[in-house]
Amino acid sequence: MYLYHFGIKELPFTLTPNTSYYFGLPSHKEAIEVLSTALKSGEGFIKVTGEVGAGKTLICRKLLNELPDGFVTAYIPNPYLSPAELRRSVAAELNVELPEGTDQQEFTQLIQQRLVEIHKQHKNAVLIIDEAQALPDESIEALRLMTNLETESQKLLQVVLFGQPELDDKLKQPKLRQLLQRITFSYKLKLMDADQLYQYVRHRMAVAGYRVEGLFNEACCELMHKASGGTPRIVNVLCHKSLMLAYGEGVQKVTLEHVKAAIVDTEAAIPINKKGLRRWLPASLFTAASVFMMALANMHVNASADILVNIEQLSLGWLL
């Protein structure tokens, strides 16, 4: 790929949430502050919502990594589970063994025993659920019943829900109003503005090892903001494709033309006016591998045929 060309150690704009690239956008900082305050005060339900690609999973992982020793965590990343499956998942995360055929009453007793043990150790049990909008309604009710376990002074299990805006709509259903009333803290993630996007891109390049200024100028970032709406995930896609094109030309700076081509090639991006887009730029980055090979030849890079094939496969593999 373009690592050697730009002098970086790893791909800076992958789609996998990586806490080492955490930037600390104002919205993300506020969300973590809300979560920390709510958890320390022993609140029962806490909710964080945001659009697809806004960084919910990244915040979720950062929270898991940074909770102090006084918390025992259970994490469920894929909650499309029946009530029985949800109970077993929670039990497994808390190291509770549930014999086959355990009914709801037996489960309640076993999980309560474990939560009491945690409480006696002067610790708090926290259940963190990512993609919570996928929880079936009956499983949400089962989740509410779990949080009925409490001492005279506090809940034995706190729950943090991360979800898309659909989670808000789901919880507004009359049959789920009991759980909605128990959400004492909530936060809605905001998307980046143009300046935050510019700083975000610079930060990720610096973490990857880039030591030169101006790879993405403010005009490029302004255009990416218009095409992404400030959604970090879409920004990552646009930046990666723009870097591929700059590498394919053998240049050290990303231009507006590179960004325009990346936008045209990205279905999730907001369409822009294609006027002025140089015709020779690839209509699709799936054909960019051939451009890379031509650029390498022009720069007189000595590489074997096997290495060239590997480069092409890597380039296409990221996009597929």
Same domain, 177 and 259: no
pLDDT at 148: 81
Domain boundary among 188, 215, 246: 188
> What does the DSSP assignment read for 89-143?
HHHHHTT----TT--HHHHHHHHHHHHHHHHHTT-EEEEEESSGGGS-HHHHHHH
Q: What is the CATH number of the domain that holds 94?
A: 3.40.50.300
pLDDT at 152: 63
Q: How far is CA 222 from CA 124, 200, 202, 239, in A?
A: 44, 12, 13, 12
Element (H, E) at 184: strand 183-188
Domain boundary among 133, 165, 188: 188
Same domain, 36 and 177: yes
pLDDT at 295: 46
Element (H, E) at 74: strand 71-76
Same domain, 145 and 69: yes
Model pTM? Answer: 0.82
Those residues with Cβ within 8 angstroms of residue 36's Cβ, 6 or more apart along the chain or in another chain: none
Domain range for 274:
3-14+192-319
Same domain, 37 and 155: yes
CB atoms within 10 A of CB 314: 12
Position 20 in a domain: no
Position 95 in a domain: yes
Position 76 in a domain: yes
Element (H, E) at 29: helix 26-40
Position 21 in a domain: no
Position 43 in a domain: yes
CA distance 199 to 231: 14
Same domain, 179 and 278: no
Same domain, 56 and 180: yes
Same domain, 228 and 156: no
Same domain, 55 and 170: yes
CB atoms within 10 A of CB 310: 12
Closest CA to 312 of 16, 294, 209: 294
Same domain, 37 and 177: yes
Same domain, 202 and 175: no
DSSP letter, residue 161 = E
Same domain, 243 and 155: no
pLDDT at 275: 52
- Count the domains in the chain: 2
Residues written for the chain: 320
DSSP letter, residue 204 = H
CA distance 151 to 148: 10
pLDDT at 274: 54
> Low-confidence residues of the chain, pLDDT below 70?
151-153, 273-320
pLDDT at 318: 45
Position 45 in a domain: yes
pLDDT at 170: 95
Domain boundary among 133, 162, 188: 188
Q: Are strands 183-188 and 124-129 parallel, antiparallel or unpaired?
A: unpaired
